[in-house]
Amino acid sequence: MAIQAFQLTKSFGNYLIFEDLSFEIPKGECFALFGSNGAGKTTLLRVLATLVRPTSGRFSILDHDGLTEKEPVRQAIMFLAHGSHLYDDLNAQENLRFAMAMRGQHPSSKELKLCLDQVNLGAFAEMKTRNFSAGMKRRLALAKVILAQPQVLLLDEPYNALDEGGVEVTNHIIRDMTKRAGIVVMTTHDREKATQVAHRTGLLHQGILTFSSTDNSTAHAIF
Amino acid sequence: MPFFRVIQWVVWKDLISELRSRETLSSMLFFALIVILVFSFSFAMDQDAAQQLIAGIIWVSFVFTGIIGLGKSFSAELQNDAIEYLQMSPAPKGAIYLGKMIGNLLFMLVVEIMLFPLFVLFFNLDIVEEIGLLLLIFFLATLGLSAVGTLFSALTVQIRAREVMLPVLLLPLAVPVMIAAVEATRGALEGQPLVIYSQWIELLTIFDIIFTVVSFWLFDLILDS
Amino acid sequence: MMNRFIRRIQRFKGWIGAAAALCIFYGLYLGLLDSPPDYYQGEVVRIMYVHVPLAHTALLAYGTLFVGSLWYLWKRDVLVDNMCHAAAGITAAFTILALITGAIWAKPTWNTWWTWDPKLVSFAVLLLIASGYLMLRTFVEDPDKEGRYAAVMAIVGGIDLPIIYFSAEWWRTLHQPLSISMRGVSMSGDILLPLAIMSLGLNLLFIYMLMIRTQMLYLTNLLEAKKGRLLSHAHLSHTSS
Low-confidence ranges of chain C (pLDDT < 70): 1-2, 175-189, 231-241
**Distant-in-sequence, close-in-space partners of A142: CB < 8 Å, separation ≥ 6:** A80, A119, A166, A169, A170, A173
Kindly state whether C74 is in contact with chain B, defined as any CB-CB distance less than 8 angstroms: no
Global pTM value: 0.92
Distance CA A47, CA A70 (A): 12
Are the C-beta atoms of residues A42 and A12 closer than 8 Å to each other?
no
Question: Which pLDDT score is estimated for C175?
Answer: 67
Partners of C152 on chain B (C-beta within 8 Å) are: 151, 155, 218, 221-222
The DSSP bridge partners found for residue A187 are A33, A156
Which residue in A52, A75, A128 is closest to B90 by CB distance? A75
Question: Which pLDDT score is estimated for B130?
Answer: 84
Question: Which pLDDT score is estimated for C179?
Answer: 44
For residue A161, the enclosing domain spans: 3-86+150-222
How does pLDDT run across B53-101, given as a tens digit for each residue?
Answer: 889 999 999 999 999 999 999 988 998 999 999 999 999 999 999 999 9
- Mean pLDDT computed over A196-211: 89
Nearest residue in A to B74, CA atom: A87
Kindly state whether B225 is in contact with chain C, defined as any CB-CB distance less than 8 angstroms: yes
The verdict on a CB contact (< 8 Å) between C152 and B222 is yes
How does pLDDT run across A57-79, given as a tens digit for each residue?
Answer: 999 999 999 999 999 999 999 99
Kindly state whether B198 is in contact with chain C, defined as any CB-CB distance less than 8 angstroms: no
| Count of domains for chain A | 1
Question: Which pLDDT score is estimated for A198?
Answer: 93
Distance CA A176, CA A144 (A): 15
Of A76, A60, A77, the residue nearest A68 (C-alpha)? A60
Q: For residue A34, give the H/E element and its range.
A: strand A30-34
User: What CATH number has the domain bearing residue A202?
Assistant: 3.40.50.300
Distance CA A123, CA C148 (A): 45
**Residue A100: other Cβ atoms inside 10 A:** 19
Of C206, C219, C191, the residue nearest C34 (C-alpha)? C191
| Count of domains for chain B | 1
How does pLDDT run across B15-34, given as a tens digit for each residue?
Answer: 999 999 999 999 999 999 99
Q: How far is C74 from chain B (nearest CA, A)?
A: 11
Question: Which pLDDT score is estimated for C178?
Answer: 47
Nearest residue in C to A10, CA atom: C144
Distance CA A138, CA A106 (A): 21
Average pLDDT value over all residues in chain B: 92
Question: Which pLDDT score is estimated for C236?
Answer: 54
SS3 readout for B84-98:
HHHHHCCCCHHHHHH
Question: Residue B41 — very low, low, confident or very high, per pLDDT cuts 50/70/90?
Answer: confident
Partners of A70 on chain B (C-beta within 8 Å) are: 224
- Mean pLDDT computed over B142-161: 96
Helix (H, G, I), strand (E, B) or coil at A81: coil
Question: Which pLDDT score is estimated for A116?
Answer: 96
Question: Residue B122 — very low, low, confident or very high, per pLDDT cuts 50/70/90?
Answer: confident
Question: Which pLDDT score is estimated for C240?
Answer: 44
Kindly state whether C76 is in contact with chain B, defined as any CB-CB distance less than 8 angstroms: no
Q: How far is CA A37 from the centre of its chain?
A: 18
Nearest residue in C to B149, CA atom: C156
The verdict on a CB contact (< 8 Å) between B172 and C132 is yes
Question: Which pLDDT score is estimated for C232?
Answer: 66
Chains that touch B (3 or more CB pairs under 8 A): A, C
Are the C-beta atoms of residues C49 and C24 closer than 8 Å to each other?
no
Kindly state whether C164 is in contact with chain B, defined as any CB-CB distance less than 8 angstroms: yes
Structure ipTM over 0.85, yes or no: yes
Task: Pick the range with the lowest mean pLDDT from A78-87, A208-217, C162-171.
Answer: A208-217
Mutation test of the interface with chain B: which of A10, A50, A80, A85, choosing the one with the most B Cβ atoms within 10 A? A85
Which residue in A16, A53, A205 is closest to C228 by CB distance? A16
Question: Which pLDDT score is estimated for A222?
Answer: 42
Nearest residue in C to B168, CA atom: C132
Question: Which pLDDT score is estimated for A215?
Answer: 75
**Residue C142: other Cβ atoms inside 10 A:** 13
Q: How far is B78 from chain A (nearest CA, A)?
A: 9
Q: Quick check: is A81 in a domain?
A: yes
Partners of A11 on chain C (C-beta within 8 Å) are: 225, 228-229, 232
Question: Which pLDDT score is estimated for A1?
Answer: 64
The DSSP bridge partners found for residue A208 are A205
The verdict on a CB contact (< 8 Å) between B169 and C155 is no
Question: Which pLDDT score is estimated for B3?
Answer: 93
Name the residue type at position B61: S
Question: Which pLDDT score is estimated for C241?
Answer: 37
Which residue in C142, C149, C164 is closest to B155 by CB distance? C149
Distance CA C126, CA B181 (A): 21
Question: Which pLDDT score is estimated for B45?
Answer: 63
Q: Quick check: is A39 in a domain?
A: yes
The verdict on a CB contact (< 8 Å) between C232 and A17 is yes
Nearest residue in C to B160, CA atom: C139
Q: How far is A41 from chain C (nearest CA, A)?
A: 13
Task: Tell me the CB-side half-sphere exposure of residue B153, using CA atoms within 13 A.
Answer: 25
User: CA-based diameter of chain C, in Å?
Assistant: 82
How does pLDDT run across A38-50, given as a tens digit for each residue?
Answer: 889 999 999 999 9
Mutation test of the interface with chain B: which of C72, C74, C167, choosing the one with the most B Cβ atoms within 10 A? C167
Kindly state whether C225 is in contact with chain A, defined as any CB-CB distance less than 8 angstroms: yes
Are the C-beta atoms of residues A144 and A109 closer than 8 Å to each other?
no
The DSSP bridge partners found for residue A116 are none
Kindly state whether B54 is in contact with chain C, defined as any CB-CB distance less than 8 angstroms: no
Question: Which pLDDT score is estimated for A223?
Answer: 43
The verdict on a CB contact (< 8 Å) between B160 and C139 is yes
Task: Pick the range with the lowest mean pLDDT from B117-126, B166-175, C47-56.
Answer: B117-126
The secondary structure of residue B130, as a DSSP letter, is G
The verdict on a CB contact (< 8 Å) between A102 and B82 is no
- Mean pLDDT computed over B197-210: 95
Are the C-beta atoms of residues B109 and B142 closer than 8 Å to each other?
yes
